[in-house]
Structure 1
């Protein structure tokens, strides 16, 4: 997907060969009030300004529609950008032009992802500074690059930061068919860590179980099967539980934890609180923690640990140890289709919607 001159012309750009300045019009999605994304998001044409010396022009290549993006537009997420706002927290773009004061390691043709939260990736072009983007390898699958920072990043940090895991140890998680859950399965498998994966029952449960098993899941059970599963009982007690559902589902995976185990909550899809049996505290001395990738990124804005994480994730992707989530590529002009298909649907294994520019 290298940027070609004829493509630039089709996009409305005009390049002065001597000055290397691009001018033209881009398109963005904007919302001016919180509400149903299918109703409040509209298209807007944007004039792309001449770059300042410390700025970079990025042409977006791909950007996913994540649940957090939907919740942000709805106004129910912890992050509330100043309105009007361009949605999209994640994506991958290609550098088109750089200001004369930009350091030499960032050049036209480089692939980049956002370093900042609420970057606004649902637009064809972004004028930004080099401090707000991270250069990434240019030989990675576009869908993988567009989705690597949030969900695989969350999975990686939870597996690395809360309980020391060795080959042969066990992790239990609910919401295992989510994008984070699928990343947990794959990353854990590369570490030799076994996974107990809990999902909600559904008509096509056998298809889902097969899919997660192919990714590297050790055991896949429904919430109703968890307590009685002989496969679960045959594994070492989990040292780590990853909870994105909360409510009764969170309580059930907590019951499976080994003494001194840790449960990390990173979501509440049931919209129910985390309930802890008293015995788990008194007799098993479990620890309850929370995790939010946005907060971690802010605390590690330019920290070497962040770059190390991304390097390891991209290396896993190159070697086949990490695949992008099951997804559909949707042309940017059909964004309304992506929004419709990204809305939660009970009991469905929904494909990640990825806008392609």
Structure 2
């Protein structure tokens, strides 16, 4: 077994929940793993993001929670926080590889296939290579965030509509929250596949600058404001010119809710689909009756955790496709979209690490990503 493996691991754990102050339930715990490491896959953590779903789990309000256990030698049953992250394979038993597609090698970069595995840790142990997905070829920041944002974006674009680009050459999707991480990935994936995107963003002083970045850097076909999205005159007189002749707006991606969701749904063609995968406004999705009766609108939800638990092969397919796009230079690293915090594994005190993660949970602005410096 590799001499790189320490005798003790260090993880960010919790035993209770708090809606008011979810960061307060966390602690740093050092323990001796109970698994036989000579017969296990040992992973070294490279980076992990702090996602809204991670925070919701700490609050105890997320529909899917990891089981709490005494496996980490705690006084009370506990779980390791976090659902996403990228790891390096440190050690793998030779007998575990059988010349199959799931073979792993030391040095491979991998991510967990399933949620609720606990990623906020310096080391983790897995028993089955089928529970891991190789992400060799990605940069650190793409690899650390591909399981949630990347897979979500890919599946939203590819898994629900049978696009027919060759027939019309003018097929569209519309999405709100156009500046979000998922939305930026949606526009890239759509552009690669010949699908045009109409991205809606909130009104702001620097609207033109933000819109230009989304269009020129991330591949959105056209960016409009929420006020334009809601404006009847704009939708009747200006929007048709933007869409062009024989346009088919076949898919709406909603992560805002409220009036924004009804406005993007109104732009869909007959028998189209709206997928709701978030609710940033905390307002309900309200849809006109006429869209259901006269236009045959289908509105359904998408929850990546449930979808990929039921269809793990689809998650693997999405990751493989993103790796290929990244290697071809068609997929932009989210590095500049992240606030990167560094965990000095060999020198940082437990208090410093915990304070950093608490800041990552409570701070405003960009999504935080913890990078482990070894």
TM-score by length of 2: 0.82
Closer, same or farther: CA 21–29 of 1 in aligned 2, 3 Å: closer
Distance (whole Å) between structure 1 residues aligned to residue 147 and residue 258 of structure 2: 27
Supply the distance in 1 between the matched residues of 2:180 and 2:362 (Cα, whole angstroms).
Answer: 14
> Partner residue of 1:233?
240
After TM superposition, the structure 1 stretch with the greater mean CA deviation from structure 2, 134-143 or 116-125, is: 134-143
Paired position in structure 2 for 1:328: 339
| CA distance in structure 2 between the partners assigned to 1:288 and 1:173 by the alignment | 14
Shift in CA distance, 193/338, structure 1 to aligned 2, threshold 3 Å: farther
* Structure-2 residue corresponding to 1:144: 142
Q: Secondary structure at the match of 1:238?
A: strand
Map of 1:187 onto structure 2 = 189
Checking the alignment, whether the CA contact within 8 Å between 1:54 and 1:130 is kept in structure 2 is: no
- Any idea what the Cα deviations from partners look like across 1:6-30, whole Å, max 9, x if unmatched? xxxxxxxxx77xxx68332222111
Q: Are the structure 2 counterparts of residues 72 and 161 from structure 1 closer, same or farther at C-alpha, using a change threshold of 3 Å?
A: same
Which of 275, 290, 311 does residue 320 from structure 2 map onto?
311
* 1:340 has 2:372 as partner: no
Aligned residue for 1:199?
A: 201
Specify the alignment match of 2:226 in structure 1: 223
Instruction: Indicate yes or no: 2:67 matched with 1:56.
Output: no
Pick the aligned partner of 1:270 from 267, 276, 281.
Answer: 281
**CA separation of 1:82 and 1:162: change in aligned 2, threshold 3 A:** same
1:12-31 → structure 2 map (5 Å cutoff): 22-31=5-14
Pairing of 1:107-256 with structure 2 (within 5 A): 107-131=105-129, 133-167=131-165, 168-213=170-215, 214-226=217-229, 227=231, 228=234, 232-234=239-241, 235=243, 236-256=247-267
Pair 243,96 (structure 1): closer, same or farther in 2 beyond 3 Å: same
Q: Say whether 1:33 aligns with 2:16.
A: yes
Segment drifting more, 221-230 vs 110-119 = 221-230
User: Across the two proteins, how many residue pairs are aligned to each other?
Assistant: 334
Q: Given that residues 51 and 99 in structure 1 are in contact (C-alpha distance below 8 angstroms), is that contact kept between their aligned partners in structure 2?
A: no
Q: Which has the higher helix share?
A: 2
Equivalent residue for 2:368? 353
Contact 1:53-1:102 at 8 Å conserved across structures: no
> What SS does the aligned partner of 1:148 have?
helix
Contact 1:21-1:50 at 8 Å conserved across structures: no
Alignment partners' CA distance in 1, 2:188 and 2:354: 30
The 3-state SS of whatever aligns with 1:150 is: helix
Structure 1: tracts of 5 or more residues without a match = 1-14
Relative to the length of structure 1, the TM-score reads 0.86
RMSD of Structure 2 on Structure 1 (CA): 2.3
Q: Over residues 143-167 of structure 1, what are the superposed CA-to-partner deviations in whole Å (9 max), with x where a residue is unaligned?
A: 1111111111111111112222243
Structure 1 residues 194 and 210, CA gap change in structure 2 (3 angstroms)? same
